[in-house]
Amino acid sequence: MKITVHGAGGGEVTGSCYLVQTRDANVIVDCGMFQGTRKLDNHNHIPQRGAFTKLNAVILTHAHLDHTGRLPLLTRAGYDGPLYATPATTDIADLILKDSAHLQQADLERKNRRRKQQNLEPLEPLYTQEDVDKLNRLYRPLRYDHRTEVAPGISVRAVEAGHMLGSVSLEMTVEEGGAKKVVVFSGDLGPRGAPLHRDPVPFEHADYVFMESTYGDRDHKPLAETAIETRKVVKKAIEAKGKILVPTFAVGRTQLLLYLLAGAFQKRTMSPFPIFIDSPMGIKATKIYGKHTDLFDAEALAMMKSGELHAHLKTVKFCPTADDSRALNHHPGPCMIMAGAGMCTGGRILHHFKHNLSSPETTVLIVGYQGHGSLGRMLVDGKKSVNIMGQKVAVRASVHTFGGLSGHAGQTDLLRWLKSFAKSRPHVFLTHGEERARKPLGKIIKDRFNLRVEYPGHKETIEI
């Protein structure tokens, strides 16, 4: 058996893709997009020769773009085999990939207008909506805690990864020439005890494990620590009849925040106030969450079944159209507006910032990571004035960071996950982490569990 790391190796955190090859079959686990710098954009292709043209199956760990973004390139290249994913992953991947195709199209049109002026050939899109649509008939349901035969001699068992709705870790059993090997793929692992999602389920035995290491060098701030402070900030803003602007990623953070607010309303630590989901994608994602409530943790499930969840979210209103969004400019406070983009790099949140940042009654609530150079980072850094859509806007709003909502396990939880099956002495391959994160994690794994640890590079092949 050979396993080649076609992404998220060599210190990268995007583009997750493993190719597993035996004498009888070729399968891939995840097919993610490389995100970030332009250099990485050049990686966004599918090999046109070799095993990739003879795939028996594709298996997905979860729906995030860095694990699914190159799937339409497979259908574009003619792949029509099965695509195994949990039903929630299928629904969310379709939403995320359609959005990705749409954004690429808009970006390309802009670039090509400029290229036309310079008499340059127009650029081709990486993939189109049609390529995304073609994926729909390939999806096959991957059931939790169930063994699925995916190719001759290769079967997988999927268990909860706790990272996002529908996420799984995979235990792959590979039989070749009378020998049987177990390879575990962690996928992205979630933190233990996080609200709404179930905890990651560990394994008992593995010969090899490909493990993510995004936060291998640190632990997150505990959610409970910042939740109390955030509640005070929100309460104060509501009493001052201000607007609370929350730049959010449409999938995950939006629903998590709604769940936490419902809990606060239920416990009467806060009185209900109007909440607007001003994001077409956020609305669709919230509906997908509503369809897969069986994946919620016990507390959220109980709240859902008793009807309390809906009852306490009565003040939530959806704003699907641009007109709905514009109408919020004249809506008096107090209210909360959740809108994209998560890092304030575009989207409807910019319009709300333009109208409200200069008002001292406004509160900006940061719930996710803000990359270097992003508008969100400038606000976190306390800039007194920012440029929004070519206009200088004074910042008089207060800015508060609500930490602890990460979908990734910190160092302690990663080690705890591995500990449960470390006794079976798996050979560990650390991926999906920058060097500064995976190297310290690897050192602890070696010292604590006395296991062999390796750090595969991009396109490195491991012979097993």
Burial 137-162 (b: 16+ CB within 10 A, else e): ebbeebeeeeebebbebbebbbbbbb
> Which C-beta is closer to Zn ion: that of 94 or that of 188?
188
Nearer to Zn ion, 56 or 255 (CB): 255
**Segment (H or E) for 73:** helix 71-76
String marking each residue 300-319 x if it binds Zn ion according to CB under 5 A:
--------------------
Q: Is 64 in the site for Zn ion (CB under 5 A)?
A: yes
Query: Which tokens belong to 384?
Result: 């007194």
Tell me whether residue 190 or residue 347 sits nearer to Zn ion (CB atom).
Answer: 190
CA–CA distance, 190 with 135 (Å, rounded to integer): 27
From edge to edge, which strands make up the β-sheet containing 18-21?
139-141, 83-85, 57-59, 26-29, 18-21, 2-5, 461-463
- Helices 87-117 and 280-291: angle between axes, nearest 10 degrees: 160
From the list 84-92, 181-189, 344-352, 386-394, the region that binds Zn ion by CB under 5 A is 181-189
C-beta of 186: minimal distance to Zn ion in Å? 11
Of 166 and 280, CB closest to Zn ion: 166
Q: Applying CB under 5 A, which part among 4-12, 63-71, 205-213, 447-455 lies near Zn ion? A: 63-71
> Pairing between strand 427-431 and 453-454?
parallel
Min dist CB 167 to Zn ion, Å, is 7
Among residues 195, 242, 189, which one has the least CA distance to residue 216?
189
Minimum distance between the CB of residue 301 and Zn ion, rounded to whole angstroms?
A: 23
Nearest-10 Cα torsion for 74, 76, 81, 86: 60
Helix (H, G, I), strand (E, B) or coil at 51: helix
Binding-site size, Zn ion (CB under 5 A):
2
Report in angstroms how near the CB of residue 191 gets to Zn ion at its nearest: 13
Q: What is the DSSP string of 127-154?
A: --HHHHHHHTTTEEEPPBT-EEEEETTE
What is the closest distance, in whole angstroms, from the C-beta atom of residue 336 to Zn ion in the complex? 26
Q: Which range binds Zn ion by CB under 5 A, 146-154, 188-196, 328-336, 352-360?
A: 188-196
Piece of the chain touching Zn ion by CB under 5 A; list 146-154, 187-195, 231-239, 454-462: 187-195
Q: Which is nearer to Zn ion, 166 or 272 (CB)?
A: 166
Stretch that binds Zn ion, among 50-58, 64-72, 122-130, 413-421 (CB under 5 A): 64-72
* Shortest separation between residue 448's beta carbon and Zn ion, angstroms: 26
If one asks whether residue 188 binds Zn ion (CB under 5 A), the answer comes out as yes
Smallest distance, Zn ion to C-beta of residue 197, A: 12
CB of residue 406 vs Zn ion: minimum separation in angstroms? 11
Q: Name the residue nearer to Zn ion (CB basis): 64 or 70.
A: 64
Site for Zn ion contains 253 (CB under 5 A): no
| 99 vs 188, beta carbon nearer Zn ion | 188
- Residue (68 or 362) nearer to Zn ion, CB: 68
CB 453 within 8 A of CB 252: no
CB of 220 to Zn ion, least distance (A): 15
Q: Does 351 bind Zn ion (CB under 5 A)?
A: no
Q: What is the token pair recorded at 61?
A: 């760990």
* Number of CB atoms found within 10 A of residue 267's CB: 9
Q: How far apart are CA 198 and CA 72, in angstroms?
A: 30
Crossing angle of helices 280-291/253-266, nearest 10°?
70
Stretch that binds Zn ion, among 20-28, 32-40, 82-90, 180-188 (CB under 5 A): 180-188
The helix (run of H) or strand (run of E) holding residue 380 is helix 375-380
180 contacts: CB under 8 Å, gap ≥ 6? 173, 174
Cβ-based nearer residue to Zn ion, 14 or 226? 14
Q: Tell me, what DSSP letter sits at residue 199? A: P
User: Shortest Cβ distance from residue 271 to Zn ion (Å)?
Assistant: 35
Residue with smaller CB distance to Zn ion, 235 or 292? 292
Q: Which residues bind Zn ion (CB under 5 A)?
A: 64, 188
